[in-house]
Amino acid sequence: MRPPWVILSNRALRARFQDLEAGDLLLVPLSLKRGEEGLFLDLAARGVEAFPSLLSQALSRSKCLQAAVLKEFMPPHTLVVYDRHDLLRAVALYERLGIEEVVTKEDRANCGLGIHLWSRVEEVYNHAGGGPLAYPFVLQPRFRKLRDIRVILLGDYEEAYLRENPYGFRNNLYFGAEARPYELSEAERDFCLRALARGRFPYAHLDLIYTETGGPYLSEINLRGGLKGARVDRKTYEKKLSALREAFLKDWLSHHPEAQLIE
């Protein structure tokens, strides 16, 4: 029986993928191509460990997976639409609830580039499945009164700031929105930590929102994100991230001193 491996690069992961087994550790974010997401499931089934966790990496790649797995944290009536049947059910639900304006989020788009506003959910049905709106996607009511809070949780580092755009509904700091510091309440911090625990995130960027229906709700979560508007600079951020990774490895090696590091 060989000693456990610690895989430190995607090159080593690709070279040794078929030989990975329970007790091995991936200490590198997986660089997977579109369509390779099923490899997360294979690695988890084999008992391969990872930092960050395989679940958190999978969630970071897909807004649809976030809405499915972290549904309890999302705004009411957030739906994942995989096909026309899902969309027809969503149309019926939203019409029954009197929801008119809706927002769609493309599964893999970031920086607000995959967010679309529709005046009625029927318009989504008329365009879905084609060029401007491919399946799958996330469907939500459009919230008129929205407060958007970016939260960065990175080990002992915590930061939050409001993102506001008085001229549009996308609170993107690169396209018109502005940021100002925000102090998290204990309830908001607890909400964030519960979301991290559910998705097995060791650290994260979270987007919290308050709407006319209440909050906080989780809009999105990711292992990484832009730092525009944040107090922490990129160099300090990367240093803290490396410290988290090194601390995890040190603790892991204390329980597996025979492990072999592979680059």
Read off the pTM: 0.93
Which segments of the chain are extended strands (E)?
A: 5-7, 25-26, 49-50, 79-81, 102-106, 115-118, 137-141, 147-154, 157-164, 178-181, 204-211, 214-222, 260-262
The string of pLDDT tens digits covering residues 21-75 is 999 999 999 999 999 999 999 999 999 999 999 999 999 999 999 999 999 999 9
The string of pLDDT tens digits covering residues 180-231 is 999 999 999 999 999 999 999 999 999 999 999 899 999 999 999 999 999 9
Q: Check residue 29 and give its pLDDT.
A: 94
CATH 3.30.470.20 fits 145-232, yes or no: yes
- For the chain, which residues make up each domain, given as ranges? 5-50+238-262, 76-141, 145-232
* Mean of the per-residue pLDDT values of the chain: 93
Q: Check residue 164 and give its pLDDT.
A: 85
Question: Residue 243: which pLDDT band, with cuts at 50, 70 and 90?
Answer: very high
CB 219 within 8 A of CB 208: yes
Tell me the CATH architecture of domain 76-141.
2-Layer Sandwich (3.30)
3 state SS of 21: coil
Q: In angstroms, rounded to a whole number, what is the distance separating the alpha carbons of residues 42 and 20?
A: 10
CB 241 within 8 A of CB 225: no
The string of pLDDT tens digits covering residues 112-159 is 678 888 988 888 888 887 777 899 999 999 998 889 999 999 999 999
